[in-house]
Amino acid sequence: MDYLETQLKKLAKETFLSLKKAKGKEELENFRITYLGRKGALTSILRRVKDLPLEERKISGKRANDLKRQLEESLKVRLSQLGKKREVEKFDITLPGIKPESGHLHPITLITNEIREIFQELGFEMVAGPEIETEYYNFEALNFPPEHPARDAFDSFYLAPDTLLRSHTSPVQIRVMERRKPPLRIITVGRCYRRDAIDASHFPVFHQIEGLMVGEGISFSHLKGVLTYFLQKIFSPDIRIRFLPSYFPFTEPSAEVSISCIFCKGVGCSSCGRSGWIEILGAGMVNPIVLRKVKYDPEKFTGFAFGMGIERIAMLKYKISDIRLFWENDLRFLEQF
Ligand code: PHE
């Protein structure tokens, strides 16, 4: 009965492979039915064993029964493993879920949005200008004559002889006035670049916000009103504001604007150098020379401008002691905003 022997061998191989492949309860049950069920392949071989001559019946019968036992045993093991695996995978659906991490805005973006909203309430329109400027827009049109010592104060990054990374946002004033006729009320926000040595309050890249209002009858008191409204809104309604005479080539008169120290309320502390005041921005009336450069009639139109560092405002408002933190992208810092 070679024939049955061969079949048994083939079946042993086949069952070994298909048991290995069978996954899950259902597939294992299918396996059982296919081979061990009432009409299963092995069952039918076993049924035929009794018709064999005695000698062969002994050998093949034992083989077939061994295989049957083996398969039943393996199946049992596989089924029990299945149960165990389930146990491990079981989870408690009543446990609180894990919130997916979501990104959020950088503190500089947050403060910029806040500043922009305040000026938009006052009717200022947001405009943009290029970060790569010519000497004309960065200096000359703003009344920094060639070789003027004030150019040294803005130790700039030159990309080519007449091309530099803007050292302030004031060139946007010129670009806007060249394009438009007064009255106008604009603000612009953007990156500026200066060759400053890096320390807790200096970084070669920083952000400025610049404002410009030009029209008929615009006076210094409008500037005071707008800046007072803005500074009290961004810091606190009870701060006081101080204007001191200053100098910028593009404004005349010019002012350096301070707020009463937000930490000591003007009494004097280490944050304000014991003076009670914190300098916060530069401002002034647009110099008639500048107005003439953009072909505005200074007899008819006057205007004011102001500019301030956004990092400085953010540092004061959020009590950040080091400007470098804005650029390090350390999540432990960023996640606090
Ligand atoms: N551009 C000046 C600066 O960077 C600030 C300023 C802007 C002053 C507008 C007056 C008017 O320091």
pLDDT-based confidence at residue 262 (cuts at 50, 70, 90): very high
Per mean pLDDT, which range of 41-45, 222-226, 283-287 is the poorest?
41-45
Give alpha helix (H) positions in 131-271. Answer: 135-138, 150-153, 171-179, 220-234
**pLDDT value at residue 269:** 92
Q: Is 172 exposed, middle or buried (0-12, 13-18, 19+ CB in 10 A)?
A: buried
pLDDT-based confidence at residue 99 (cuts at 50, 70, 90): confident
Is residue 2 over pLDDT 70? no
In this prediction the pTM is 0.72
pLDDT-based confidence at residue 291 (cuts at 50, 70, 90): very high
**pLDDT value at residue 23:** 85
326 CB near ligand 1 (under 6 Å): no
Q: What is the DSSP letter of 33?
A: I
> By percentage, how much of the chain surpasses pLDDT 90?
62
E-assigned strands of the chain?
A: 125-127, 132-134, 157-160, 163-165, 184-193, 205-215, 241-248, 251-260, 277-286, 302-309
Instruction: Kindly give the distance from the C-alpha atom of residue 14 to the centroid of ligand 1, in angstroms, as a whole number.
Output: 86
| Of 4 and 151, the one with more pLDDT | 4
Rounded Cα–Cα distance for residues 328 and 55 (Å): 86
Instruction: Kindly give the distance from the C-alpha atom of residue 247 to the centroid of ligand 1, in angstroms, as a whole number.
Output: 10
Is residue 306 a contact partner of residue 281, using CB atoms and an 8 Å limit? yes
**pLDDT value at residue 153:** 55
The pair of three-digit structure tokens given for residue 119, joined into one six-digit string? 């000026």
Is residue 150 over pLDDT 60? no
Q: Who contacts 241 (Cβ-Cβ below 8 Å, separation ≥6)? A: 224, 227, 228, 231, 232, 257, 258, 259, 260
Is residue 290 a contact partner of residue 250, using CB atoms and an 8 Å limit? yes
Rounded Cα–Cα distance for residues 316 and 22 (Å): 67
Instruction: Kindly give the distance from the C-alpha atom of residue 184 to the centroid of ligand 1, in angstroms, as a whole number.
Output: 18
Is residue 194 a contact partner of residue 155, using CB atoms and an 8 Å limit? yes
**pLDDT value at residue 89:** 67
Q: Which of 169, 227, 250 to mutate to test the pocket of ligand 1 (most atoms within 8 A of CB)?
A: 250
pLDDT, average across residues 270-291: 95
Instruction: Kindly give the distance from the C-alpha atom of residue 304 to the centroid of ligand 1, in angstroms, as a whole number.
Output: 11
**pLDDT value at residue 79:** 86
The pair of three-digit structure tokens given for residue 63, joined into one six-digit string? 């083989």
pLDDT, average across residues 265-294: 95
| Of 208 and 55, the one with more pLDDT | 208
Is residue 69 a contact partner of residue 77, using CB atoms and an 8 Å limit? no
Per mean pLDDT, which range of 147-151, 174-178, 225-229, 299-303 is the poorest?
147-151
> By percentage, how much of the chain surpasses pLDDT 70?
96
**pLDDT value at residue 205:** 96
Atom 5 of ligand 1, nearest CA residue? 307
Atom 4 of ligand 1, nearest CA residue? 168
The pair of three-digit structure tokens given for residue 31, joined into one six-digit string? 């396996």
pLDDT, average across residues 20-43: 89
Rounded Cα–Cα distance for residues 199 and 305 (Å): 29
Is residue 36 a contact partner of residue 46, using CB atoms and an 8 Å limit? no
Rounded Cα–Cα distance for residues 207 and 112 (Å): 9
| Of 97 and 315, the one with more pLDDT | 315
307 CB near ligand 1 (under 6 Å): yes
Average pLDDT, the chain: 91
213 CB near ligand 1 (under 6 Å): no
**pLDDT value at residue 88:** 64
* Burial letters 22-38, b for 16+ CB under 10 A, else e: beeeeebeebbebbbee
pLDDT, average across residues 193-217: 95
Look-up: residue for tokens 């540092």?
A: 315
**pLDDT value at residue 306:** 98
Atom index in ligand 1 nearest the CA of residue 170 equals 1
